[in-house]
Structure formats: C-alpha cells, structure tokens
C-alpha cells in the first residue's frame, strides 16, 4: 500500500511540474531537491531522490523523506497525504493557504534572462533538518554574507561564521541551490570566500554533515543588461558585449573575436537583474518577443524562460517543432 502511494505521489509530482516530459534528467532532480528543501526544510539528497524515482529501494524511504516529497504537493506531511487519497482514484492536491503569500517576483531566462526582486536582500532562516547522530549545534550559529561590490559580476562574497561551539564530522557552505556548489570549510576559521560569476538571487547554506543549519539570501545585481557564454565543460562564463542598436543580440563577429567554439553545445544567456519593488508573483504579466538566429546550424536549439520568486521557480522551454522530446 505504501509503495503504491509513493508511485501515486511521483505521478502527481510529474504531472504538476513536468507535464511535457517523459523522463526526468539531472537538472530536474536538482530542481526538486531545492523545492522540497524550501517547502519542508528537509534536505533530500540527489541519490536518494533518484532511487525513489527508479523504484530502486528495498525498504520504504524515511518518513522525513516522504514528508519532503508531499510538501511540494501542498501537504504538511505524509499522513495528511495518505488521508487525502481515495481508495479507487487519485485526489489532486488542493492549494494550501500557506502558499498564497504575496512574494516578490524574480524572472530568469536562459537565452533571454530577466530578473526582478524586492524585499530584504539578506534574510536569516533557521532550517529544521534531518536529525544526525554526532551532530551538535548548541545555539544558532553566526552566518552572514557580504558582497565586495554592490552590483556587477564577477562578485566575491565573504561569508562570516562562528562554529566554535558546534560539533560535526564536516562543515560546508553551499553557495546556491545546486548541491554541486558545496565546499568544505574549516570550522576553526571564521571566514570563507566564493566568487559568483552570474547575477541572480542565490540562497547560500551553512551545512553540518548533511543538515542545513543556517541560510543566507544573496542578491547579485547586474549593472545593466549582461550577456554570458558558457558550456557544460566550462561553466565559468565569458562576458560578451551586447548589440543594443535595435534589438538585444550578439553579433556573429563577437564570437569570433572572443575565440569561442560554436560547434560545441553552449548556453547564451541575457540577464537584467535589478529591483522591481512593485512586482508580485500572483499578479503580473510578462510580454516579450524573441528569435533564434541559428547560424551554428544546431539541430534543436531552445530558449528557456525562468520565473522565480523567493519561494518557488517555474520555467517555460521553447523549441522547434519535432524537438519537444529533447532532454534539457
């Protein structure tokens, strides 16, 4: 019965967040882990989530993992989710009142990127995480972040912390939602620096073992419109000058002068990260026009528009007809 409910839960998550996809890929699982942590304050590892999705587990996942799963379907815990299911059918989750808070909006577009943000830039959050043997945190530890420049990238952020009274096997700082951006730190030190190469709204985490004990929100603003070129092999971007005469674009000769290899897969992104204090996630309109000049003859180029606020993230992917099943 429990395994059947887990399969039902997975199907509902897939229907809500990945309706047009057949199979999930790495970035989809990363998105789910981040969303679960924001909704439930429970950190579920990528490996655990992948095992659940493949049905590759001999025993049921921990209750806290199940609570994290149903949190993104607007349920408080696994028990509440079970009660909501009819024996002969599925009950799609209803909107929870706790998710109707008006929050500042951030728009992010891969290929064309727009961001808006308002509210407190540096917000301390105490996270409840999975109990961990050998972990001892007597008080809320000191954790803060300070940018070296007000706006622009690259931007060095200095993290300050005090772990003198804490005990754990390891301590680390994760500079964003991505678990791959986690770096071990020395608990006997009090400062750690990271370079942010992209503008955006980032949530840095102070982690003891695998438990998040503090979070810090960091807004990295662009000075104006910014274009970046990056690849999977080299995620550190190349910053490109923009042609703003008629449209926001990059001239072909700009790639040649920069010595960029357009034969490999790459990401061209446009950013404009500035405060838009009057925009909220439940009342706005986004209107834009774009065109892909595919002079590199890519078979299936795509554009992704990301819409992000302080609690959630959504994205729209635009592709050519016939390329809908591409794995992105």
**pLDDT tens profile 206-239:** 988 878 888 999 989 888 889 999 887 788 899 9
Q: Please state the pTM of the whole predicted model.
A: 0.59
Contacts of residue 113, Cβ cutoff 8 Å, sequence gap at least 6: 107, 269, 270, 271, 272, 306
- Whether residue 324 lies inside any domain: the answer is no
> How sure is the predictor about 41, in pLDDT bands with cuts at 50, 70 and 90?
confident
Q: Is residue 327 part of a domain?
A: no
pLDDT at 124: 32
CA pair distance 128, 316, nearest whole angstrom? 31
User: In this structure, are 216 and 229 located in the same domain?
Assistant: no
Same domain for 244 and 311, yes or no, is yes
Yes or no: say if 242 and 227 are a contact pair by the CB < 8 Å rule: yes
pLDDT score of 325 more than 80: no
Residue 195 lies in a domain: yes
Q: Are residues 124 and 215 in the same domain?
A: yes
Does residue 296 sit in the same domain as residue 244?
yes
Domain count, the chain: 3
Whole-number pLDDT of residue 76: 86
Which one of 220, 249, 272 terminates a domain?
Answer: 220
Whether 256 has a pLDDT exceeding 50, the answer reads yes
Whether 231 and 215 map to the same domain: the answer is no
> Looking at the domain assignment, is residue 30 inside a domain?
yes
Nearest residue to 171 (alpha-carbon basis) of 202, 143, 200? 143
CATH code for position 155:
2.60.40
**Based on the domain organization, do 90 and 134 belong to the same domain?**
no
User: Are residue 275 and residue 227 in the same domain, yes or no?
Assistant: yes
Computed on alpha carbons and rounded to an integer, the radius of gyration of the chain in Å comes to 21
- The gap from C-alpha 116 to its chain's centroid, in whole angstroms, comes to 16
What is the rounded distance in angstroms from the CA atom of residue 42 to the CA atom of residue 19? 25
Domain, as residue range, for 177: 120-220
Do β-strands 313-319 and 155-162 pair in parallel, antiparallel, or remain unpaired? Answer: unpaired
- Residue that is last in its domain, among 220, 247, 272: 220
Q: Has residue 328 been placed in a domain? A: no
Q: Do the domain assignments include residue 300?
A: yes
181, containing H or E segment? none
Per-residue pLDDT, 123: 29
Write the pLDDT tens digit of every residue in 115-135: 333 332 222 333 334 444 456
User: Which has more confidence, 103 or 271?
Assistant: 271
Q: Which of 167, 200, 220 is the last residue of a domain?
A: 220
Q: Could you tell me the strand order of the sheet in which 267-271 lies?
A: 238-240, 226-230, 267-271
- Residue 90 vs residue 1, higher pLDDT: 1
Q: Is residue 131 within 8 Å of residue 148, measured between CB atoms?
A: no
In a domain, 6, yes or no: yes
Is the pLDDT at 103 greater than 80, yes or no?
no
**Between 316 and 308, where is the model more confident?**
316
Please give the Cα distance from 110 to 303 (Å, whole number).
6
**Does the pLDDT of residue 313 top 50, yes or no?**
yes
CB distance 28 to 21 below 8 Å:
yes
Q: Are residues 112 and 254 in the same domain?
A: yes
Residue percentage of the chain with pLDDT more than 90: 18
Same structural domain, 165 and 81: no
Domain annotation covers residue 147: yes
292: number of Cβ within 10 Å: 14
State how far the Cα of 200 lies from the Cα of 237, in Å rounded to an integer: 14
φ, ψ (nearest 5 deg) of residue 20:
-90, 5
Same domain, yes or no: 109 and 188: no
276 and 229 within one domain: yes
Helix (H) or strand (E) holding 209: none
Same domain assignment for residues 85 and 135: no
Would you say 253 and 260 are in contact if contact means Cβ atoms under 8 Å apart?
no
60 φ, ψ (degrees, to nearest 5)? -65, 145
């Amino acid at each position: 019965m429990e395994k059947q409910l887990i399969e039902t839960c997975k199907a509902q998550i897939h229907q809500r967040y990945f309706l047009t996809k057949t199979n999930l890929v790495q970035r989809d699982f990363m998105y789910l882990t981040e969303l679960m942590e924001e909704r439930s304050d429970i950190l579920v590892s990528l490996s655990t989530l992948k095992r659940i999705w493949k049905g590759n587990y001999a025993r049921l996942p921990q209750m806290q993992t199940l609570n994290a799963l149903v949190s993104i379907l607007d349920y408080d815990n696994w028990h509440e989710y079970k009660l909501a299911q009819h024996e002969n059918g599925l009950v799609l989750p209803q909107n929870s009142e706790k998710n109707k808070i008006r929050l500042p909006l951030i728009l992010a577009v891969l290929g064309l990127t727009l961001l808006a943000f308002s509210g407190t830039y540096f917000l301390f959050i105490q996270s409840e995480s999975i109990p961990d043997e050998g972990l001892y945190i007597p008080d809320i530890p000191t954790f803060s972040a300070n940018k070296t420049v007000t706006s622009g990238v690259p931007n060095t952020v200095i993290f300050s912390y005090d772990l003198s009274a804490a005990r754990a096997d390891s301590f680390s700082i994760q500079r964003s939602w991505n678990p791959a951006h986690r770096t071990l730190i020395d608990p006997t030190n009090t400062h750690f620096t990271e370079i942010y190469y992209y503008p955006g709204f980032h949530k840095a985490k102070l982690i003891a073992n695998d438990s998040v004990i503090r979070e810090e929100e960091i807004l990295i603003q662009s000075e104006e419109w910014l274009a970046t070129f990056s690849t999977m092999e080299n995620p550190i971007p190349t910053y490109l000058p923009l042609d703003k005469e008629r449209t926001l674009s990059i001239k072909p000769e700009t790639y040649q002068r920069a010595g960029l290899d357009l034969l490999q897969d790459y990401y061209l992104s446009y950013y404009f990260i500035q405060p838009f204090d009057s925009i909220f996630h439940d009342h706005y309109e986004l209107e834009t026009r774009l065109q892909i000049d595919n002079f590199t003859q890519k078979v299936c180029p795509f554009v992704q528009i990301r819409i992000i606020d302080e609690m959630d993230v959504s994205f729209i992917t635009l592709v050519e007809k016939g390329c809908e099943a591409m794995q992105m």
